[in-house]
């Protein structure tokens, strides 16, 4: 069903959670995972040493995508890393077309945003405009490893949500 799964990454924990999801789907469907980092030109203004900043983004991108490829391969999944320069959402859409991605998996949030927004701006634009389906992954509160105490969900020990899905297909 899926052959080519694109996972855009900005090196954030949110993108890492997306990678985990993508790798397990890829394992199931025998798909190839593409880890794409976009060196964000909008975050580098001409006055602030544009070339240096973009180059340092590219280095970060090489490391980030190499790690993603390693993670995927360790799980027995074929993977490709790519670093591009440009506007993140535009570049993600172009790359998705280029490799003919049939699924895009990305974090609801990334490195730069505020948790109170429903979706990060890059993800929002990709969700709205991509031809391929987009799976968004929210980092669980535990994985966030945050020091923000609060929001305790651990009391919900009863899991009675299973067991209703099987057996009764009437149409
Ligand atoms: P915002 O950027 O809107 O301030 P944010 O950083 O929380 O907020 P996004 O940038 O939309 O949210 O990040 C959400 C997801 O988008 C990330 O988990 C990652 O999958 C993807 N993403 C964001 N930036 C990039 C990038 N430069 N290259 C590749 N993927 C990216
Ligand atoms: Mn961001």
- The CATH number of 7-137 is 3.40.50.620
**Does any ligand 1 atom lie closer than 6 A to the CB of residue 95?**
no
Write the pLDDT tens digit of every residue in 117-169: 889 999 999 999 999 999 999 987 777 765 444 444 444 444 444 444 444 44
**Residue 136 DSSP SS3:** strand
Place of tokens 């993600």: 92
Ligand 1 test: best mutation among 33, 122, 143, 144, most atoms within 8 Å of CB? 122
Q: What is the DSSP letter of 83?
A: E
Count the residues in the chain: 171
Q: Would you say 38 and 6 are in contact if contact means Cβ atoms under 8 Å apart? A: no
- In the chain, what percentage of residues exceed pLDDT 90? 70
* Per-residue tokens: 153: 């969900």
Write the pLDDT tens digit of every residue in 91-104: 999 999 999 999 99
Calculate how far, in angstroms, residue 164's C-alpha sits from the geometric centre of ligand 2.
Answer: 38
In the chain, where the domains are located: 7-137
State which ligand 1 atom lies nearest to the alpha carbon of 15: 18
**Does any ligand 1 atom lie closer than 6 A to the CB of residue 10?**
yes
Compute the CA torsion angle 46, 124, 154, 164 (nearest 10 deg). -160
């Amino acid at each position: 069903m899926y052959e080519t799964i694109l996972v855009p990454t900005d090196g954030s924990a949110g993108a890492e959670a997306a990678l985990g999801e993508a790798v397990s789907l890829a394992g199931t469907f025998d798909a190839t995972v593409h880890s794409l980092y976009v060196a964000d030109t909008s975050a580098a203004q001409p006055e602030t040493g544009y070339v240096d900043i973009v180059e340092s983004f590219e280095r970060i991108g090489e490391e980030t995508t190499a790690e993603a490829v390693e993670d995927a391969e360790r799980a027995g999944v074929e993977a490709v890393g790519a670093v591009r320069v440009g506007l993140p959402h535009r570049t993600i859409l172009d790359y998705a077309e280029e490799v003919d991605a049939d699924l895009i998996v990305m974090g609801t949030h990334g490195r730069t945003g505020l948790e109170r927004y429903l979706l990060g701006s890059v993800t929002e634009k990709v969700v709205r405009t991509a031809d391929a389906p987009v799976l968004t992954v929210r980092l669980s509160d535990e994985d966030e490893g945050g020091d923000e105490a609060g929001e305790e969900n651990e009391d919900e020990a009863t899991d009675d949500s299973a067991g209703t899905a099987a057996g009764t297909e009437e149409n």
